């Protein structure tokens, strides 16, 4: 146990948390958490998904009420009953998912959350001054809908700073940033630390925690498993603390002779007009995914990946049938069912509500994507569903993917994110598809399950399929892919072979640099 | 003082089953208060309302006559509502089913034989389905709200029927009464057991429809499609199920069943077209659908209960001199309590009074002091 726990509550700690516990039904999400945050430190909160990080932070920010435990703010016991109370105390939070109105300007969005009646022009002036002094370039009069994700995050940070907080909580802030944008953010954080402000930094990216954090608290299964100085640890030792055991590394045998293999999935000049005022248009996308190959698509969230996925999957049809070709045949005019019948399989980003119907059983969710491709096996005469066959197929997938669950055939919503994702990926793998398109395969999935899913995708490719992975997690793409392309503002770069790809090159492309440009600016640097 | 609904983390399976019974009990209590206020002994009134109307065999037949259209319409509506599509206009589809089905006996009375009834029933279903296709088309083509369009079309249907029986279809020998000619013998839906009571084949249609829809919803891919699109439309699109196709499917199906109910009612219970052919079956069926928890088998039971409220309303009117509008009141209360109970299964009520806000306010003031202390 690190930190100082003294009777007269050391005033050097800005925030002290003792025995904080939150119980949901039978699940103890946070189990007697102790946490000290000193003044002027960047404190990392590490843990896998489901370790209790979000629950803890929600209690600190007043959006959840703890079952037991104490919180001391600057040496005094406090009860944080609402986010309003947290703000008044001096706790600010920047959420992972932004809460901004796209049709309003940055300043208007800030005014909404400040809610103190000051005129927009005053707020805009303040925001401009702050953005200047912290090196966070932002035009307060710009429309949020026109801004990039990184710029939107700056609005959130400035909105938070305007309330002059002493403690700033950042939830996975770099998950939406390019490596270069993340560097800028770190400069801001160090600047804040030098002013004596404290930062609680939530992340699962170990390298950046090692780089900027002074101390770390590691959570696993709702319990604190250790406090440490991340600078003295290695990424591997931190990972071990988080996961509790060694994570099996993903093995990727080099792909042989891919260049000459036939393309199973081909995108030719795919363009799409924006469906809503703030959707991203797709611009002349070209891509080939060949037999045996895993191609990764990197990019900051909201650069057209969702639109791209919908276009390939057939949830949205193309006017030019030749713009999407599966196994050498035009598929652009076919529905998702038609494309599945050609041998393609799809895993969308959202698990609940898109890839699976939350309130339906796993066996029913199997039927969801396979009622047509396995029509003979699963649907009998007169459209009667063969429940027995569907059930046993679901059990086969559960076994193959090691899906952990509480009942033989539970509702999808009853599974943890990682286990549901294993089932959804397994549902498609079970078909042995010749083309597999996956959007964010391991988003919010714990390390063990993520390794399992990645390995399964590589093996599918090596067994003769084409696999396309869209992800915002660069580590994942480098682990999986034979080539990485970058999507920026609806455009897709040519894939870089994995041997030539580096974080820097990909990062520059994610920020919108031209492919040739990326090489050049690196040489200059 | 403010009232908030807070979502419950878990739904109680027990109370999901009990909810219609609790709602019914609450309706009885509220009904007792209403009877007491009207100066009637509630126990006496309840006996007349709920017990006497079903104490003899012929009365059970009357119950079946009232229940048949309610069940037929409600099982169709249950499919719509499961798909999250809100057809509120079954009353209009019922009327158009009746009008279409009546084309044969009114315009071609000389056409007789065993084919007349099947043709009339078929035409009735076509009429109901065609009328239901209007809101479906408007919704899929122009994204109009089907609740409004289907509801407004009810009034169009009612006035159209009124015009028909006063105008072109009026019985020339009817002494000016607004009604069509009496249907010929081969255009009258046969009674099931003519010696025991008036119940006709409409009740059998209702039971067959309930079982068929139950099978469809629980066992077939089509039923699965309805449930997926209703509960998670995006997952439904991912499954390759078309939403617009579903809008048409549910409207045509529920419209056809409402139309079948309409022609069965006219051909069986009434025997001719009149300005008013339904005591609001199409609206009451909405209550039946929800009281039956959108389950076709539950709807059969709920249909019988609601049919009893109609009979009871007539009974208290004749025995106690209370307006038969009391039936509407009972139906309204029942729907209110069913929806109320269902809401409370998903949400709990939190009262936020002034007394609770104050300590919060006190803390809010304490915060700046902390700032000063620093």
Predicted interface score ipTM higher than 0.85: no
B240 vs A364: CB contact, 8 Å cut-off? no
Q: Is B356 on the interface with A (CB under 8 A)?
A: no
- A13-243 belongs to CATH 3.40.50.300: yes
Q: Which of A368, A372, A379 sits opposite B235 (nearest CB)?
A: A368
Residue A353, min C-alpha distance to chain B (Å)? 5
- With beta carbons under 8 A apart, name residues in chain A contacting B360: 81-82, 85
Chain A partners of B368 at a C-beta cutoff of 8 Å? 88
Position B101 in a domain: yes
Tell me the per-residue pLDDT of B59-78, one tens digit each, with 9 for 90 and over.
999 999 999 999 999 999 99
Q: Convert the pLDDT of each residue in B166-202 to its tens digit.
A: 999 999 888 889 999 999 999 999 999 888 888 899 9
B-chain residues near A81 (CB < 8 A) = 360, 363
Shortest Cα distance, chain B CAs vs residue A206, angstroms: 33
Query: What's the angle, vertex CA A357, arms to CA A351 and CA A358, rounded to 5?
Result: 80
Give A319-367 pLDDT, tens digit per residue. Answer: 999 999 999 999 999 999 999 999 999 999 988 899 999 989 999 999 9
Residue B156 placed within a domain:
yes
Please write the tens of the pLDDT for every residue from B301-328: 999 999 998 899 889 888 888 887 888 8
Whether B189 is in a domain gets the answer no
Give the number of C-alpha atoms closer than 13 A to the C-alpha of residue B240, restricted to the C-beta side: 20
pLDDT of residue A188 exceeding 80: yes
Would residue B183 count as lying in a domain?
A: no
Question: Following CA atoms A111, A116, A122, A123 in sequence, which dihedral angle do they give, to the nearest 10 degrees?
Answer: -30
β-pairing verdict for A324-326 and A13-24: unpaired
What are A314's two structure tokens? Answer: 């057939």
Distance from CA of B369 to the nearest CA of A (A): 10
Confidence of residue B362 (pLDDT cuts 50, 70, 90): very low
Phi, psi of A201 (to 5 degrees): -110, 110
| Segment B200-218 mean pLDDT | 96
Residue A392 pLDDT level (bands cut at 50, 70, 90): very high
- Give bridge partners of residue B5 from the DSSP assignment: B349
A129-155 pLDDT tens trace: 888 888 788 888 888 888 877 788 888
Query: For residue A11, what pLDDT band results from cuts at 50, 70 and 90?
Result: low
Structural domain for B68, as ranges: 2-168+197-373
Residue A298 confidence (pLDDT) above 70: yes
pLDDT of residue B373: 37
Average pLDDT over all residues of chain A: 87
CA–CA dist A163, A370 (Å, integer): 52
The stretch A503-513 carries a mean pLDDT of 85
pLDDT given for residue B220 in this prediction? 95
| B369 interfacial to chain A (CB closer than 8 Å) | no
Q: Are A88 and B367 within 8 A, CB to CB? A: yes
In a domain, B129, yes or no: yes
Asked if B12 has any chain A CB less than 8 Å from its own CB, the reply is no
- Chain-chain contact of B227 with A360 (C-beta, under 8 angstroms): yes
- From 3.40.50.1100, 3.40.50.920, 3.40.50.720, 3.40.50.300, which CATH number describes the A247-343+433-525 domain? 3.40.50.300
Structural domain includes residue B182: no
Q: List chain A domain ranges.
A: 13-243, 247-343+433-525, 352-432
| Chain B touched by A315 (CB under 8 Å) | yes
Q: Which residues of B touch A90 (CB under 8 A)?
A: 367, 370-371
Q: Can you list the pairs that B107-111 forms with residues at least 24 positions away whose Cβ atoms lie under 8 Å?
A: B109/B181, B109/B184, B109/B187
Say what the pLDDT of residue B353 is. 64
Mean pLDDT of A396-414: 87
A283 CB-near residues (< 8 Å, 6+ apart): A271, A489, A490, A491
Locate A252 and state its tokens.
């990727």
Nearest to B221 among A346, A355, A371 (CB): A371
Question: For the residues A283-295, what does the mean pLDDT come to?
Answer: 94
Q: Are the Cβ atoms of B234 and A350 closer than 8 angstroms?
A: yes
Q: Are B283 and B310 in contact (CB under 8 A)?
A: no
Mean pLDDT of the A410-438 span: 91
Provide mean pLDDT across the span B276-283. Answer: 94
- CATH, residue B134: 1.10.3470
Cβ atoms of residues B67 and B287 within 8 Å: no
Q: Which residue of A has its CA nearest to B229?
A: A357
In which band, very low, low, confident or very high, does the pLDDT at A523 lie, cut at 50, 70 and 90? very low
Which residue from A171, A144, A148 is spatially nearest to A56, judged by alpha carbons?
A171
Specify if B265 maps to a domain: yes
Instruction: Report, as an integer, the average pLDDT of A303-329.
Output: 92
* % residues pLDDT > 90 (chain A): 45
- A253 CB burial (10 A radius; 0-12, 13-18, 19+): exposed
Residue B185 falls within a domain, yes or no? no
Residue A517 scores a pLDDT above 80 = no
Q: What pLDDT score was predicted for residue A514?
A: 59
- What total number of domains does chain B contain? 1
Nearest by CB to A336, from B9, B231, B240: name it.
Answer: B240
Put simply, the answer to whether B237 touches A315 (Cβ < 8 Å) is yes
pLDDT by residue (tens digit) across A475-503? 889 999 999 999 998 999 999 999 999 88
pLDDT score recorded for residue B267:
95
Q: From the CA of B242, how many Å to the nearest CA of chain A?
A: 10
Q: Please tell me the total number of residues recorded for chain B in this structure.
A: 374
Q: Which residue has the tokens 């429940």?
A: A387
């Amino acid at each position: 146990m690190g930190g100082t726990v003294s009777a007269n509550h050391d005033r050097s700690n800005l925030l002290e948390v003792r025995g904080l516990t939150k119980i949901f039904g039978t699940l103890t999400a946070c189990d007697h958490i102790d946490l000290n945050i000193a003044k002027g430190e960047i404190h990392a909160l590490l843990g896998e998904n489901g370790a209790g990080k979000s629950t803890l932070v929600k209690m600190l920010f007043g959006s959840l009420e703890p079952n037991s435990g104490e919180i001391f703010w600057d040496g005094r016991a406090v009860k944080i009953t609402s986010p309003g109370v947290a703000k008044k105390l001096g706790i600010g939070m920047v959420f992972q998912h932004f809460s901004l109105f796209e049709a309003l300007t940055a300043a208007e969005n800030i005014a909404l959350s400040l809610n103190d009646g000051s005129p927009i022009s005053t707020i805009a002036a303040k925001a401009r001054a702050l953005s200047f002094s912290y090196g966070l370039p932002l035009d307060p009069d710009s429309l949020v809908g026109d801004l990039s994700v990184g710029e939107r995050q700056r609005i959130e940070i400035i909105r938070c700073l305007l309330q002059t907080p002493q403690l700033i909580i950042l939830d996975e802030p770099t998950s939406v940033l390019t490596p270069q944008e993340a560097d800028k953010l770190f400069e801001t954080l160090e600047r804040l630390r030098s002013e004596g402000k404290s930062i609680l930094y939530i992340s699962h990216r170990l390298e950046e925690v090692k780089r900027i954090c002074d101390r770390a608290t590691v959570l696993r299964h709702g319990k604190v498993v250790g406090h440490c100085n991340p600078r003295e640890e290695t990424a591997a030792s931190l990972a071990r603390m988080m996961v509790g055991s060694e994570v099996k590394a993903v093995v990727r045998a080099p792909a042989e002779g891919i260049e000459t293999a036939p393309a199973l999935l081909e995108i030719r000049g795919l363009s799409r007009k924006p469906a809503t005022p703030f959707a991203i248009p797709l611009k002349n996308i070209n891509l080939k995914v060949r037999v045996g190959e895993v191609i990764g698509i990197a990019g900051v969230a909201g650069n057209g990946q969702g639109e791209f996925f919908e276009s390939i999957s057939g949830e949205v049809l193309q006017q030019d049938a030749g713009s999407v070709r599966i196994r050498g045949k035009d598929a652009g005019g076919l529905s998702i069912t038609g494309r599945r019948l050609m041998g393609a399989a799809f895993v969308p980003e959202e698990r609940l509500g898109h890839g699976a119907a939350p309130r339906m059983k796993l066996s029913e969710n199997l039927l969801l994507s396979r009622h047509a491709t396995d029509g003979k096996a699963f649907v009998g005469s007169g459209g009667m569903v063969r429940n027995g066959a569907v059930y046993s197929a679901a059990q086969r997938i559960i076994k193959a993917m090691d899906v952990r669950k509480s009942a033989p055939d539970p509702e999808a919503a009853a599974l943890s994110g990682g286990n549901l994702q294993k089932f959804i990926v397994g549902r498609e793998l079970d078909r042995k598809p010749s083309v597999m398109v996956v959007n964010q395969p391991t988003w919010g999935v714990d390390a063990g399950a993520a390794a399992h899913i990645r390995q399964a995708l590589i093996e599918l490719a090596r067994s003769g399929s084409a696999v396309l992975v869209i992800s915002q997690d660069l580590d994942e793409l480098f682990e999986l892919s034979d080539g990485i392309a970058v999507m920026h503002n609806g455009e897709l770069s040519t894939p870089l072979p994995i041997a030539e790809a580096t974080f820097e090159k990909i990062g520059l492309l994610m920020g919108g640099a031209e492919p040739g440009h990326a090489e050049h600016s690196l040489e200059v640097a | 003082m403010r009232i908030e609904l807070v979502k419950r983390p878990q739904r109680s399976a027990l109370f999901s089953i009990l909810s219609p019974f609790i709602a019914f009990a609450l309706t009885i209590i509220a009904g007792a208060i209403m009877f007491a206020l009207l100066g009637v002994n509630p126990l006496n009134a309840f006996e007349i309302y709920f017990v006497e109307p079903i104490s003899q065999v012929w009365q059970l037949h009357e119950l079946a006559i009232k229940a048949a259209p309610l069940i037929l319409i409600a099982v169709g509506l249950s499919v719509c509502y499961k798909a999250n599509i809100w057809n509120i206009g079954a009353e209009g589809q019922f009327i158009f089913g009746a009008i279409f089905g009546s084309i044969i006996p009114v315009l071609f009375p000389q056409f007789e034989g065993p084919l007349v009834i099947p043709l009339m029933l078929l035409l009735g279903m076509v009429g109901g389905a065609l009328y239901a296709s209007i809101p479906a088309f408007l919704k899929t083509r122009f994204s109009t709200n089907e609740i409004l369009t289907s509801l407004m079309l009810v009034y169009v249907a009612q006035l159209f029927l009124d015009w028909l029986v006063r105008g072109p279809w009026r019985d020339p020998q009817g002494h000016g009464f607004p009604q069509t000619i009496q249907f010929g013998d081969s255009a009258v839906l046969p009674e099931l057991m003519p010696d025991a009571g008036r119940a006709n084949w409409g009740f059998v249609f209702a039971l067959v429809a309930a079982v068929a829809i139950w099978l469809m919803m629980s066992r077939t891919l089509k039923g699965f499609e309805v449930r997926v699109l209703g509960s998670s439309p995006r997952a439904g699109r991912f499954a390759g199920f078309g939403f617009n196709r579903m809008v048409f499917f549910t409207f045509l199906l529920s419209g056809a069943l409402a139309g079948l109910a309409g022609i069965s009612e006219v051909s069986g219970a009434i025997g001719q077209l009149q300005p008013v052919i339904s005591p609001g079956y199409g609206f009451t069926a909405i209550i039946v659908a929800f009281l039956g928890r959108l389950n076709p088998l539950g709807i059969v039971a709920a249909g019988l209960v609601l049919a009893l409220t109609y009979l009871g309303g007539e009974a208290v009117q004749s025995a106690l001199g209370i307006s038969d509008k009391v039936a509407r009141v009972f139906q309204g209360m029942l729907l209110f309590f069913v929806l109320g109970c269902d809401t409370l299964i998903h949400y709990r009520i939190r009262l936020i009074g002034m007394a609770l806000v104050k300590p919060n306010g006190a803390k809010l003031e304490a915060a700046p002091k902390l700032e000063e202390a620093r």
